[in-house]
């Protein structure tokens, strides 16, 4: 009886993992489509202006997708926690966390550059 319950839990977690992975892929797809639409709009109507807002919006989609993919990896490891899977999860988590960190830093820097109007005090 316990074995069948355990198998049911494993199957449920695997379905949940698949759903979270799919959601992550959909977030990336939506981000790509919106970025393409934004770039097309930019090319047609906003030449000469920075396309940084488009990059920032796309980066937010990528950040969310990275979080979802990490969640899926955690679910996958929780079902069958071998040392090999735990090691792979740790490596993936470090890589994704680093990517997320640098992406967040880039977003922050781009926002500051977009929002800052150059104004230097005049010396007389």
Give CA–CA dist 61/24, Å, rounded.
9
Q: What percent of the chain has pLDDT over 70?
A: 90
Report whether pLDDT(118) > 90: no
Give CA–CA dist 7/121, Å, rounded.
69
Give CA–CA dist 102/84, Å, rounded.
27
Kindly report the average pLDDT of the chain as a whole number.
Answer: 83
Q: Mean pLDDT across the stretch 86-94?
A: 83
Name the band, by pLDDT with cuts 50, 70 and 90, for residue 117.
Answer: very low
Among residues 5, 60, 76, the alpha carbon closest in space to that of 28 is found at 60
Per-residue pLDDT tens for 29-63?
999 999 999 999 988 887 777 778 888 889 889 88
């Amino acid at each position: 009886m316990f074995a069948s319950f355990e198998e049911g839990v494993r199957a449920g977690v695997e379905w949940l993992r698949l759903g979270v992975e799919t959601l992550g892929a959909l977030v990336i797809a939506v981000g790509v489509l919106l970025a393409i639409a934004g770039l097309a709009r930019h090319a047609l109507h906003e030449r000469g202006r920075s396309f940084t807002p488009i990059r920032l919006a796309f980066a937010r989609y990528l950040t969310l997708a990275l979080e979802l993919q990490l969640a899926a990896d955690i679910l996958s490891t929780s079902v069958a926690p071998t040392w090999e899977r735990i090691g792979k999860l740790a490596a993936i988590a470090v890589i994704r966390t680093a990517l997320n960190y640098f992406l967040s830093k880039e977003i922050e820097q781009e926002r500051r550059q977009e929002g800052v109007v150059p104004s230097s005090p005049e010396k007389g």
